[in-house]
Chains A and B, each alone.
Chain A
């Protein structure tokens, strides 16, 4: 279990401008169950497609799916912004970050 996002300062999904990508690091407790079901889990790489004005929802794409999130929910998702080069590298390896793999293994075995 990772610490709740609101206790970990740093960039959140709400702060990622449209067109850029980020890797999810943590999801705040209250939203974990909901976001889990959409596959928005620590380790997942998402790209922000649009952000509606006036604090409206944002739309993220990951893989083939697109999910709209209220800005308040996105603000509770801790992320690591990815530069285009880093994104290309991740895509090339065809695998999420090593720490996510380790989490997946320990969960699954």
Chain B
């Protein structure tokens, strides 16, 4: 069990997924895809539905449940992709155990996706699904990888032992996928047409394989059947009776769910026995491919650690180089083509200069920010991330960094969102979903907000490199890095609970497929653009309005005690710090613009009105303090407003405290 949330009350209603779909489609049979992580389930799902679905060669990265209409063998059906799970008791997506996600999808049949390379490990999950009393079809996926390693399995004999159909499939090439899905859809349609509910019409009433535990199963099954009439929540703490009544699962199936923890060991024992019968028990003699050797090297201290440092540095440099190149190219193109047209159009249509300039803040500058930051840095990051994910390297990196991240209460896989954060914090916060518990997600999100994104990196470099030297910029990053670590450490100490120790199945190393990488990067970028664009535009309009109307100036008096008194910065810097909340990447430009207005043309360069020490303080405080409005929105969306505001407050406190101390150390205040 990866988390320990209390079980929701038994009174929980059984949701009806059909009502949200509407129309005739609501009556279509439903096939649910179940499988352990890393079996290529999502790739198979995409192949079957002939549309791209986001998948990752790292455990547990299907973070939301997708449902698609498919046509298989002349029948229409819903195909539901559930998050990869080790057992039906696991909580692969946070609060709910896998079995609840499965039954809430109201499946008429289950397509269990297993790895043909290593079938034994998948038998327990197949048995658990079969126990539910629903028709089950097995897709022995990754058959191409199994062939490459010379791992042959008699799928006919396995099918006999399991008493369920077994199809050899390859999600990557598509071989066998249609057959497996068609088979599952046929069984689902059959069950739907019988519509009897509880018992499967396919004769998959599961064999009684649990020996001495069978009487326990019978007892629990009888209790669940009668539990509703007793009316006592304690008789059915998991709320299984409602699922039995709704015909989602047989009462025996419900009993096997309640006894899931107890039945796990016997299921593995059965798997081992069958494995010997199939002659696949002693498979540590499997042929080692080059990929296997690379996988071994990638987690060995040597050459794994230097390799990791090289890959991280390479990814960071590629992002800075490609991102910077694209950013200036797109920015220049925007300035040469779109910007003049927009300016002319707005000036022509809007008669009031103040309003016209406010609109241009949003339409011209705001869109430019998305084009010159969003596309170059975020899209580049997503491409790099997709390559690392699909190659399987991310789980190796998680092992290498585990010890390091443990210090702040995070598992090694937190490296994924933190790498994302150096591009943009918004996708990084969504990326914290790869972590197992809410506690880990909260800590990681807080560390993400403290991590300088590309916009803040640009502010630090832009403020310090020209006026205080590249060394000062590096030192500022060092300080920010330390503050980030300290923030994570503090969050780990303050948020109750403790970190579950690492137990992680490693992904095999695979060659990424270019088309899958491109589509995944684009899919995620689109999601980012859709959520971040409105916020950035709104922020730009508000900022423009406050600036153009002159309403922002009185605010400086409010910030003076802190900004001038504590941080030792000029009054105008306070405004820039406050309004950088709306557009972080403008923190520097805003400072120069405001200073020029207040102090006259002589202040056109920040070096003329701020000392290097003041610039250092300004850079650190900007980088650490309150995330931008888009990040705040993402935080609130993922965790709720209270944690979002607490994290923002925390980052502000860290920024102001450290800024004041640095100012005193450097003699700026």
Interface residues of A (CB under 8 A from B): 18, 31, 33-39, 41, 43, 45, 47, 49-50, 52-57, 59, 61-70, 72-73, 90-91, 93-96, 100, 103-109
- CB pair B502 A91 closer than 8 Å: no
Q: Who on chain B is nearest to A93 by CB? A: B282
B219 in contact (CB, < 8 A): no
Which interface class (under 10, 10 to 19, 20 to 34, 35 or more) fits B?
A: 35 or more
* Nearest 6 CB-CB pairings of A with B: A70-B501, A56-B403, A104-B269, A37-B86, A64-B118, A70-B502
Question: Bound state CA distance, A31 and B461, in angstroms?
Answer: 48
Q: Collect the chain A residues with CB atoms within 8 Å of residue B86's CB.
A: 37-38
Known: A36-B264, A50-B301, A52-B399. A72 touches B273 (CB 8 A): no
Question: Bound state CA distance, A50 and B281, in angstroms?
Answer: 23
> What secondary structure prevails in chain A residues at the interface with B?
mixed
Q: Who on chain B is nearest to A1 by CB? A: B265
Question: Bound state CA distance, A62 and B151, in angstroms?
Answer: 15
Interface residues of B (CB under 8 A from A): 1-2, 86-87, 89-90, 115, 117-118, 120-121, 124, 149, 151, 209-212, 261, 264-266, 268-273, 276, 279, 281-286, 295-296, 299-301, 304, 395, 398-400, 402-403, 412, 501-506
Q: Who on chain A is nearest to B151 by CB? A: A64
Question: Bound state CA distance, A47 and B209, in angstroms?
Answer: 31
- CB pair A108 B209 closer than 8 Å: yes
Question: Bound state CA distance, A66 and B296, in angstroms?
Answer: 9
Q: Collect the chain B residues with CB atoms within 8 Å of residue A36's CB.
A: 264-265, 268
User: Which of B2, B151, B505 is close to A67, meaning CB atoms less than 8 Å apart?
Assistant: B505
Known: A56-B403, A68-B399, A96-B272. A61 touches B266 (CB 8 A): no
Q: Collect the chain B residues with CB atoms within 8 Å of residue A52's CB.
A: 299, 301, 399-400, 402-403
Q: Collect the chain B residues with CB atoms within 8 Å of residue A103's CB.
A: 269
13 A-B residue contacts at CB 8 Å?
Answer: A37-B87, A38-B86, A39-B120, A41-B265, A64-B286, A68-B502, A70-B501, A73-B501, A73-B503, A94-B276, A100-B272, A108-B209, A108-B270
Q: Collect the chain B residues with CB atoms within 8 Å of residue A64's CB.
A: 115, 117-118, 121, 149, 151, 283, 286
Q: Collect the chain B residues with CB atoms within 8 Å of residue A96's CB.
A: 272, 281
Question: Bound state CA distance, A63 and B282, in angstroms?
Answer: 7
Q: A50-B300, A63-B121, A66-B295 are in contact. List 5 more A-B contacts (CB 8 A).
A: A34-B1, A52-B400, A64-B286, A91-B284, A108-B209
Q: Collect the chain B residues with CB atoms within 8 Å of residue A108's CB.
A: 209-211, 266, 269-270, 273
In the complex, what's the smallest C-beta–C-beta distance from B173 to chain A, in angstroms?
A: 20
